[in-house]
A and B are shown apart, each in its own frame.
Chain A
Amino acid sequence: MAPLQKRAWYGLAIGLVFAIALLLVFMVKGGISTFTEDTGFRVIISVLWVGGLAANLILVNLTLRKPGLVDERDRLIMDRAPRVQWLAVIFSLVAWTITLTEVYWEQGEIPVIFLYLIFMSILIVGTLAQSLGILIGYWRANRYG
């Protein structure tokens, strides 16, 4: 397995662990209403998502900076990963838009806190999709050349 491919697996695993932890904390602590009122809850969520993103960033940067770990084929695969990222981000935004529109249609307004949650979720989805894009790239390269 290529070093970048290994790092992408680690990145995906770390991202999923942080994303699941975020969802669990969110559900256990009481959801949107508590999130708006409880500062401690917001700090925990912020630490989790910033921590997850930082861990992923460090992991990818360490791989890219070490000489000999990434070659031209890896870079080609990495350059194609944003296609998957783009699709994942678009689908996430579509899901957010449809869900929020349907849920808050009667009220005619959406709580401001959703701006923060949408931003946070898009960053997480983007990071996860980057790792996924790299892994799909390797799979395609090994299968079809």
Chain B
Amino acid sequence: MGNARINNRIRRLRFDHDEMTQEELASRVGCTRQTIIALEQGKYVPSIELAFRIARAFGVTLEDVFQYE
């Protein structure tokens, strides 16, 4: 339980979506660019709401963005 980790594919998905910038994604999901940076570096686990907003911004499901290992 303690070793569980939530990974994400945000960086990959950004590039797959016409190289969407961090700033653009941040503005679409309603957070700061620094939060997107922290998410991509795996230094922040978002709330369920933000996670859904990110998935929606890419037009994919939550599991396509976040993986629980």
- Residues in B whose Cβ lies below 8 Å from that of A71: 30-32, 35, 50
The answer to whether A141 touches B43, judged by C-beta atoms less than 8 angstroms apart, is yes
Contact B32 A2 (CB under 8 A): yes
A1 touches which of B34, B46, B50 (Cβ 8 Å): B34
CA distance A3 to B35 in the complex (A): 12
Whether the pair A145, B44 counts as a contact (CB closer than 8 A) is yes
Q: Which residue of A lies closest to B43 (CB)?
A: A145
Interface 0/1 of B26-50, CB less than 8 Å to A: 0100111011001001111011011
In the complex, the answer to whether B42 meets A145 with C-beta atoms within 8 Å is: yes
Contacts of B46 in A (CB 8 A): 72
A 125-145 to B, binary, CB cutoff 8 A, 1 in contact else 0: 000000000000000011011
Residues of the A chain whose Cβ atoms lie less than 8 Å from the Cβ of B47: 72
- Bound-complex Cα distance A93 to B27 (A): 44
Where the two chains meet, the residues of B that have a C-beta atom closer than 8 Å to any C-beta of A are 27, 30-32, 34-35, 38, 41-44, 46-47, 49-50
A-B contact sample (14 more), CB < 8 A, given A68-B32, A72-B46, A141-B44: A1-B34, A2-B32, A2-B34, A2-B35, A69-B32, A70-B32, A71-B32, A71-B50, A72-B50, A73-B32, A74-B32, A141-B43, A142-B43, A145-B43
Q: What is the interface of chain A, defined by CB distance below 8 A to chain B? A: 1-3, 5, 68-74, 141-142, 144-145
